[in-house]
Amino acid sequence: MSTVNRPGHNGIRGLTHLDAAGHARMVDVGDKKVTARIAVARGRVLMNPATLVTLLAGGTPKGDVLAAARIAGIMAAKRTAELIPLCHQLALDAVELHFASTEPQALEIEARVRVTGRTGAEMEALTAVAVAGLTVYDMCKALDRGMVLDSVRLAAKSGGQTGEYRREGEIEWHNQM
């Protein structure tokens, strides 16, 4: 076995999902310590202000958009390993989705994912936000085909070898739905 395939080695140029020859591989996390980990991802759906008012009032033709988006995000987090080829299958401890409207044309989405394991849940949180946003689009497209899923990003994480991370400029949410 080459040194690049040993657990904990950073692969080619620090990319853990590539071996020395540049081939894709699933990272071996078997020797990593089991720790509590949290990942928080955020994104937003930009839309016409009238669409957001209708969505928040529950007046969309397809029903309760936020309830459907919340369930879709949770389901997506649970199935991330089926969508992202080199992700590990995780036994998630919790997945929460929250929504906020801080601007007249934007629905903000936040996913918080908790896991106790050998690898983090960043991809699960990001996937939850993306799929929740796509669900909002699907349920509101009859009102506004110009919506944009925007700024999907990791906002914060804790646990694991790399410890704490908080994206600069991210604030705690207080008035979420």
The CATH number that applies at residue 120 is 3.30.70.640
| pLDDT tens per residue, range 136-151 | 999 999 999 999 999 9
Q: What are phi and psi of 121, to 5 degrees?
A: -115, 25
Tell me the average pLDDT of the chain. 87
pLDDT at 15: 59
**Per-residue confidence band for 9, with pLDDT thresholds at 50, 70 and 90:** very low
Domain assignment present for 63: yes
Mean pLDDT on 56-79: 96
Residue 145 has which token pair? 């085909």
Write out pLDDT tens, residues 17-31.
677 777 777 776 767
Catalytic residues: 138
Please indicate, yes or no, if residue 151 is contained in any of the structural domains.
Answer: yes
Do 111 and 95 share a structural domain?
yes
Residue located via tokens 């705690």: 172
Q: Do 5 and 76 belong together in one domain? A: no
The answer on 61 and 43 residing in a single domain is yes
pLDDT surpassing 50 at residue 175: yes
Closest residue by Cα to residue 76 from 33, 122, 131: 131
Q: Are residues 62 and 142 in the same domain?
A: yes
Q: 163 pLDDT exceeds 70?
A: yes
Domain that holds residue 81: 36-162
Number of domains in the chain: 2
Residue 32, helix vs strand vs coil: coil
Residue 172 lies in a domain: no
Of 4-18, 67-81, 148-162, the one with minimum mean pLDDT is 4-18
Clarify whether residues 17 and 86 are in a common domain: no
Mean pLDDT to the nearest integer, 125-146: 97
User: Which H or E element spans position 73?
Assistant: helix 65-78
80-85-87 Cα angle (round to 5): 55
Q: Structure pTM?
A: 0.86
Contact indicator for 54, 60 with CB cutoff of 8 Å = yes
Regarding whether 131 and 107 lie in a shared domain, the answer is: yes
Structural domain contains residue 170: no
